[in-house]
Chain A
Amino acid sequence: MNMGRAHWLYLAPALLLLGVFLVYPSAETIRLSFYGPRSDTFVGVQNYVRAFTSRPMLIAFRNNLLWLGVFTLFTVGMGLVLAVLLDRVRYEAVIKSVIFLPMAISYVAAGVIWRFVYAFRPAVAPQIGLLNAIVVGLGGQPVGWLIQRPWVNNIALIVVGVWVWTGFCMVIISAAYKGIPREMQEAARIDGANEWQVFRHVTIPFLKSTLAVVTTTMIVFVLKVFDIVYMMTNGAYDTDVIANRMYNEMFQFSNYGMASAIAVILFLAIVPFLVLNVRRFRVQEAVR
């Protein structure tokens, strides 16, 4: 056995698996995206043109951007705030567990649970939805949380995502926060810095790379968001997102070309963040 070739032998199983389960399907998806609904007629870039011009798709893009901004801001932001504040609380472990708990629930189940929270009943009937029961209890009129567009229903869906993912962000950031040498913060306080300045100039710089990794992870997730939207509205009332469009084109409408084109677009949108994430990760590893 020539040592120059041996590494290929060891790589072979992994390469084979990657080829069969990743490279081939990706290439096939790209090829199908240039074909018609039944993959039998070549249509050129027609699917892509439709994907970037039809109103339902444009609304889906808009919503994905909304998800991207609001969801990422709140999961990472609240994760950071909770990690720092809970560090000083005696029941830290208990509270963190409670906040982390939704992670253990599947998104489909989360969707079902929150459909009950948002449920609407006419004002003349008893409210069965928690949120509307509170609103009516305070003397208001019941609100169609999942129906009122353009912002109420989209934010209502994003809240479900935030509820599920904040705990995850909090746990990761908390681990990094506990790794900051306490002497640093002490030194800053002795130098006369107030709490905000300590947080701003000592804590944040130390957490920078962790925050970046958590943020890119959230972005990759949010671009692929599907289950929550499918379960709760199936994209009605302008709440559609790219992944749900793809699912419907594929499994509801049997339009393989369009579904493949949307899959390729989604893939291309995610790649830059993946590259960023991997680079960040390498930098972090090198520091250690």
Chain B
Amino acid sequence: MMKRWLVGLLLAGLVAGLAQGAVTIMVLWSGDELAAFQKVVDAFQARTGIAVRVESVGRDLPTILATRVAAGNPPDLAGMPNPGQMAEFVARGALIPVDGLVDLTQFPTAFVDLATVGGKVYGIFISADLKSLVWYNPDALYAEGLAPATSWNELVYITRELANRGKTPWAVGFESGAASGWPGTDWIEDIMLRTAGPELYDKWVAHEIPWTHPAVKRAFELFGSIVRNNAYVYGGTTGVLSINFGDSPAVLWDPVPGAYLHRQATFIKSFIAGAHPQLDLDQDVGFFVFPPIDPQWGTPLLGAGDLISAFRDTPEVRAFLQYLASPDAQAIWCGALGKLATNVNVDPGIYPDRLTAQAAEILKGAEIFRFDASDLMPAAVGSGAFWKGVLDYVSGVPLDRVLQDIEAAARAAY
């Protein structure tokens, strides 16, 4: 018995020793996402025989990764917390460029540009989330004789019209535990892109313009014109601040709709399905793209994505990167999770429902795509002062004071 146990131990040691020559990748996923990624890894292993060790480190990934890079002991590849963090690693000379390793023509330029630093590409987006969407209940909206908005003025018209009829136009929920406020930052980012344009948006992200800049102020004001109006939001501003972001859209499908419109990213679909299991997602749920405001900026798209970069250049790492970029890998990953593929050659048939396929189609045609600004800012601003500022503003604090507070945090953080 003892002998058998020893042999087992030796074999395990041998396998572990062999795996040293394989590929390690550090990711923050857990649960469904980790299981889906493991499927991708298994398929790669079956195809090439190269073993991949997935290190799932959870939300502490930025800290752990930064420490390991500083210690000169990074994993072979890692999921990047965001493009900003990726650029920091590039500045330290830690990442290898992927141009020439991966066929970048399979990706929309927007995603290639996001991963480009100093003319070289340092990462691959294996999937994306589209944030610029307004969800609605077609039956309820058409019953009111209204249709999806194609411009900001139409959106304001729908909002006023519903309020005049004594109905509540918007369902908004900013509560998210210790992260409360983040859904509001997405609103402001979408509006900022449409009123100030992508260049100024980038400057705002980099803190090259202050938070007290008129363009930022205007984005907040337009956001406030809807969300701060007690007659326009379900439960008034207190409702906005108290209702959890995931519970918020459910009222659109109540027998007597509590609201008609809900602005949120693609992932909200699963929350809607969870609250109303009887819904036919292809018939009963619809969305339209958050409409343009200033015609000169058209309809930019706001989103986020899963970005993978490599720290070491070995044949195994190259093979794995090429696989991750391929339509096959993305079909497994996105098909399992309902995320959007970034590779234009992915068959739309992989998506679990029409809505996701539709969102993927919109993303494919993206002329201007920008990453979630709060994810790109230093945490003290993007996951601190900005969140709190949104909550303060909606709860009635004067806008100038809100912007001064965020600016003060930004001055200390950048």
Interface residues of A (CB under 8 A from B): 50, 54-56, 119-125, 142, 144, 146-147, 149, 230, 234-237, 248-249, 252-255
Expressed in whole angstroms, the Cα–Cα distance for A234 and B388 within the complex equals 10
What are 20 A-to-B residue pairs whose CB atoms are below 8 Å? A50-B412, A54-B408, A54-B412, A56-B405, A56-B409, A120-B238, A121-B242, A122-B235, A122-B236, A124-B258, A125-B251, A144-B242, A147-B238, A149-B395, A230-B178, A234-B179, A249-B380, A253-B384, A255-B380, A255-B413
Say yes or no for B63: interface residue by CB 8 A criterion: yes
Q: A254 is contacted by which of B63, B242, B392 (Cβ under 8 Å)?
A: B63
Within 8 Å CB of B177, what residues of A? Answer: 234
Tally of chain B residues near chain A (CB < 8 A) = 31
- Contact present for B239 and A122 (CB under 8 Å): yes
Within 8 Å CB of A121, what residues of B? Answer: 235, 239, 242-243
Expressed in whole angstroms, the Cα–Cα distance for A273 and B273 within the complex equals 55
Nearest CB of A to B142, in Å = 23
- Contact present for A236 and B384 (CB under 8 Å): no
Within 8 Å CB of B379, what residues of A? Answer: 252-254
Nearest CB of A to B326, in Å = 35
Nearest CB of A to B73, in Å = 19
Q: B378 is contacted by which of A55, A56, A234, A253 (Cβ under 8 Å)?
A: A253
CB contact under 8 A between A119 and B383, given known A124-B258, A125-B258:
no
- Contact present for B234 and A122 (CB under 8 Å): yes
- Contact present for A252 and B391 (CB under 8 Å): no
Within 8 Å CB of A236, what residues of B? Answer: 180-181, 387-388, 391-392
Expressed in whole angstroms, the Cα–Cα distance for A235 and B177 within the complex equals 11
Within 8 Å CB of B378, what residues of A? Answer: 253
Nearest CB of A to B191, in Å = 22
- Contact present for A237 and B380 (CB under 8 Å): no
Nearest CB of A to B174, in Å = 10
CB contact under 8 A between A120 and B239, given known A56-B405, A234-B180:
yes
CB contact under 8 A between A119 and B408, given known A124-B258, A253-B384:
no
Say yes or no for B241: interface residue by CB 8 A criterion: yes
Within 8 Å CB of A54, what residues of B? Answer: 408, 412
The chain B residue with its CB closest to the CB of A247 is B178
* Chain B 43-60 interface 0/1 with A at a Cβ cutoff of 8 Å (1 = within): 000000000000000000
The chain A residue with its CB closest to the CB of B256 is A124
The chain A residue with its CB closest to the CB of B394 is A147
Q: A147 is contacted by which of B234, B241, B251 (Cβ under 8 Å)?
A: B241
Nearest CB of A to B3, in Å = 43
Within 8 Å CB of A237, what residues of B? Answer: 241, 391-392, 395
- Contact present for A248 and B235 (CB under 8 Å): no
Expressed in whole angstroms, the Cα–Cα distance for A124 and B238 within the complex equals 13
Expressed in whole angstroms, the Cα–Cα distance for A13 and B10 within the complex equals 40
Within 8 Å CB of A254, what residues of B? Answer: 63, 379
- Contact present for B180 and A147 (CB under 8 Å): no
The chain A residue with its CB closest to the CB of B180 is A236
Within 8 Å CB of A147, what residues of B? Answer: 238, 241-242, 395
Nearest CB of B to A185, in Å = 51
Q: Which B113-160 residues have a C-beta within 8 angstroms of A?
A: none
* Chain B 158-190 interface 0/1 with A at a Cβ cutoff of 8 Å (1 = within): 000000000000000000011111000000000
Nearest CB of B to A43, in Å = 11
Expressed in whole angstroms, the Cα–Cα distance for A234 and B236 within the complex equals 22
The chain B residue with its CB closest to the CB of A147 is B241
- Contact present for B178 and A234 (CB under 8 Å): yes
Expressed in whole angstroms, the Cα–Cα distance for A123 and B242 within the complex equals 13
Which 6 A-B pairs give the minimum distances between C-beta atoms?
A: A122-B235, A144-B238, A253-B380, A120-B242, A234-B178, A122-B239
Within 8 Å CB of A50, what residues of B? Answer: 412
Q: Known contacts A54-B412, A122-B235, A255-B380; can you find 6 more A-B pairs with CB under 8 A?
A: A125-B235, A144-B241, A234-B178, A236-B391, A254-B379, A255-B413
Within 8 Å CB of B180, what residues of A? Answer: 234, 236
- Contact present for B242 and A119 (CB under 8 Å): yes
Nearest CB of B to A140, in Å = 14
